[in-house]
Structure formats: structure tokens, C-alpha cells
Amino acid sequence: GQQVQQSPTSLVLQEGENAELQCNFSTSLNSMQWFYQRPGGSLISVFYNPSGTKQSGRLTSTTVIKERRSSLHISSSQITDSGTYLCAINYNVLYFGSGTKLTVEP
């Protein structure tokens, strides 16, 4: 499969702090998506981001295809942001990274 590396593996924040999650991939691709996985397991699509910068509320995704990287920025983190964030690259089918487990503490 295609190589997708995410960093950091885990991250602990105090409520209100910002987070920067990274995703690097080893091949050119069609597009990529960021997902949030709830503790129960279900996946929620956070961003579908072929390239450039997208913002939704406190979340911002920046993808630079040429440099084979994408980042997810979470500003003013909240306890409810806790969970696992996964990036996936689309190379005719989605290939997932191993995720970043985010814990936001009060």
C-alpha cells in the first residue's frame, strides 16, 4: 500500500491550546481527507482537501500536494475535540495513516 505517516502519534493539550497535526505521504495522489474517529469507532469526515487551505470553524487544513504533506490545525482546543485524527490519501482508494490521538484536558 501507499505510505502515509502521521505525527505526532499522540498529543495532550490543555483546553484552549492549539494543535498542529501533520500528515506526510510518499506518493503523488488524487486527493486526501482528514477524518475524526470517535471513541466508539465511527469516522467523521473533517476535510476533503485536494489542495490548498480549507477552514471550518476552529479547524484549518492545509494541503501541499507537491510537497506531499498536509496539516490539520485545531485552534482553541476543547475537551470534546479529544479523539483520534486520521489522514487518508486517495490513490484510487483511500489509504490511512496510523492517526494522532488527541487528548484535551480541562
Partner 1 sequence: GALVYQYPRRTICKSGTSMRMECQAVGFQATSVAWYRQSPQKTFELIALSTVNSAIKYEQNFTQEKFPISHPNLSFSSMTVLNAYLEDRGLYLCGVGTGGTEVFFGKGTRLTVV
What sign has the CA pseudo-torsion 23, 26, 31, 36?
Answer: negative
Q: Is 41 in the site for partner 1 (CB under 8 A)?
A: yes
Q: Is 57 in the site for partner 1 (CB under 8 A)?
A: no
Number of residues that bind partner 1 (CB under 8 A): 23
SS3 40: coil
Q: Is 43 in the site for partner 1 (CB under 8 A)?
A: yes
CB of 17 to partner 1, least distance (A): 26
Q: Choose among 67, 71, 69, 81: nearest CA to 36.
A: 81
Q: Give dist(CA 94, CA 92) in Å, integer.
A: 7
CB of 30 to partner 1, least distance (A): 5
- List the beta bridge partners of residue 69: 24, 64
List of residues contacting partner 1 (CB under 8 A)? 1, 30-31, 33, 35, 40-43, 45, 48, 50, 86, 88, 90, 92-99
